[in-house]
Amino acid sequence: MKVTINDVASHAGVSIKTVSRVMNNEPSVRKDTYDKVMAAITALQYQPNAAARNLASSRSFSIGYIYDNPNAYYVIDMQRGLLDACRKHGYELLIHPTNAKSPDIVREVIDLVQQSRLAGLVLTPPFSEMPHIAEALEKIGVHFVRIISGSTPSPKLSNCVLVDDFTAAFKITNHLLELGHTDIAFLCGDEEHSSSGERLAGYQAALTKRGITPNPKFIVPGSYSFESGVKGAKQLMNLSKKPSAIFACNDEIAAGALFSARLMNIAIPQQLAIAGFENSPFSRQTWPPLTTAHQPNVTIAQQAAELLFRHAKPNASKMLADKQPVFIPELLVRESTAVSK
């Protein structure tokens, strides 16, 4: 019922100490001994007692995931990916919803890490973009991995997983251009999220490449919310020169724009094409369904956790330590942009 390290040792015909060495990836264990021990571990389904390990070594076997994101689907996907990686490595996941805007957010995070004795932390926006959090974490020597918007790996970003919003936004804009649209507007998300900036840049780059100068009136500041989309679309459709397509910074904004267009009796996509970003579940459930970009969040989270373990595990192989994953969200064409103008 309860398999201890002793059982594994006698089953493998080695000493407890050797099993412990294997469990902790210590060097100087011969290959065949290692294999023998591993075999015993799987045969007996040995699960080390986390509490005992924890207590004896004073390091911990859990990582933390801090979130403050109104998009529940994003959070759930992240969790799923992190959990997968944790299970694989025998770690636990501590989740911590909180308020990123809180004035003592740094202290809160530090407290969490220290009280729960976390081995590491996975940071998603907005936390991954807060320099004082990264600094504080570095100062107390806690490993962390950030998931951020970006396209080019660099040594400075060694503990980051990059999501290439720029390229994905470029592709979406290109899709609209190929449909014949030239007057394409952009509804921004929150300025403080770098994803919004990256997507805007991708949009602008695509236009420029076609020889179109982005029209400043077509770039509407806003936030990642339905309401923002409602307002933004209204503003755009009241211009004397209206856009024929809108690229919204995420699906929620796009849904708002859709809503707004409907109030104004504008036919989608005949009179106005609308594209979103994120592929949230409801992007398929709007009418018409939204063209959008799909982020493989579960996989992204897995990779982030793997990266974290590579840094956090004392003796893990450093071979792969510098692989820096970049994910490019994939274009998903649906009916909100289906018909060319």
Q: Does 57 bind DNA (CB under 7 A)?
A: yes
Q: Which does 38 bind (CB under 5 to 8 A by kind): DNA, a copy of itself, none?
A: none
* Site residues (CB under 8 A) for a copy of itself, limited to 82-111: 83, 92-97
Cα–Cα distance between 296 and 69 in angstroms, integer? 17
Q: How far apart are CA 135 and CA 137, in angstroms?
A: 5
Question: Shortest CA distance to 46 belongs to which of 80, 22, 64?
Answer: 22
In the complex, minimum distance from the CB of residue 83 to a copy of itself, in angstroms, rounded to a whole number: 7
How far is it between the farthest Cα atoms of the chain? 83
- Give yes or no for residue 42 binding DNA (CB under 7 A): no
User: How many whole angstroms from its chain centre is CA 301?
Assistant: 6
Of 4, 24, 33, 49, the one binding a copy of itself by CB under 8 A: 49
Beta bridge partners of 143: 120
What residue 118 binds from DNA, a copy of itself, none (CB within 5 to 8 A, per partner kind)?
Answer: none
Select the residue interacting with a copy of itself from 52, 239, 264, 321 (CB under 8 A): 52
Mutual angle of helices 5-12 and 16-23, in 10-degree steps: 110
The values of phi and psi at residue 325, to 5°, are -70, 140
- Can you tell me whether residue 90 is helix, strand or coil? coil
Which of 23, 93, 100, 112 lies at the binding interface for DNA (CB under 7 A)?
A: 23
Q: Should residue 44 be labelled a site residue for DNA when binding is judged by CB under 7 A?
A: no
Q: Does 6 bind DNA (CB under 7 A)?
A: yes
- Give the alpha-carbon dihedral of 154, 315, 307, 139, to 10 degrees: -70
Q: Does residue 56 touch DNA according to CB under 7 A?
A: yes
Candidates 38, 44, 49, 108; binder of DNA (CB under 7 A) is 49
Other Cβ atoms within 10 Å of 128 Cβ, number:
21
Q: Which residues pair with 162 in a beta bridge?
A: 148, 326
N- to C-terminal Cα separation, the chain: 68
- Binding partner at 24 among a copy of itself, DNA, none, C-beta below 5 to 8 Å by kind: DNA
Provide the residue type at 278 as one letter. Answer: E
Q: Does residue 121 touch a copy of itself according to CB under 8 A?
A: no
Residue 117 Rama label (left phi>0; alpha psi -120 to 50; beta)? left
Q: Among 17, 88, 210, 262, which residue interacts with a copy of itself (rule: CB under 8 A)?
A: 262
Report, in Å, the least distance between residue 245 CB and DNA. Answer: 58
Contact pick of 24, 33, 79, 151 for a copy of itself (by CB under 8 A): 79
Which segment (78-86, 160-168, 203-211, 321-329) binds a copy of itself by CB under 8 A?
Answer: 78-86
Element spanning 65, H or E: strand 62-67
| Coil/strand/helix, residue 142 | coil
Does residue number 122 form part of the binding site for a copy of itself (CB under 8 A)? Answer: no
How far apart CA 6 and CA 12 sit, in angstroms, is 10
In the list a copy of itself, DNA, none, the entry touching 306 (Cβ below 5 to 8 angstroms by class) is none
Q: Of these partners, a copy of itself, DNA, none, which one is at the site of residue 17 (CB under 5 to 8 Å by kind)?
A: DNA
Residue 83 binds which of a copy of itself, DNA, none (CB < 5-8 A, kind-dependent): a copy of itself
Length of the chain (residues): 341
Residues in contact with DNA by the rule CB under 7 A? 2, 4-6, 13-21, 23-24, 27-30, 32-34, 48-49, 52-53, 55-59
Residues in contact with a copy of itself by the rule CB under 8 A? 47, 49-52, 54-55, 60, 70, 72-73, 75-76, 79-80, 83, 92-97, 115-116, 226, 252, 255-256, 258-259, 262, 281-282, 284-287
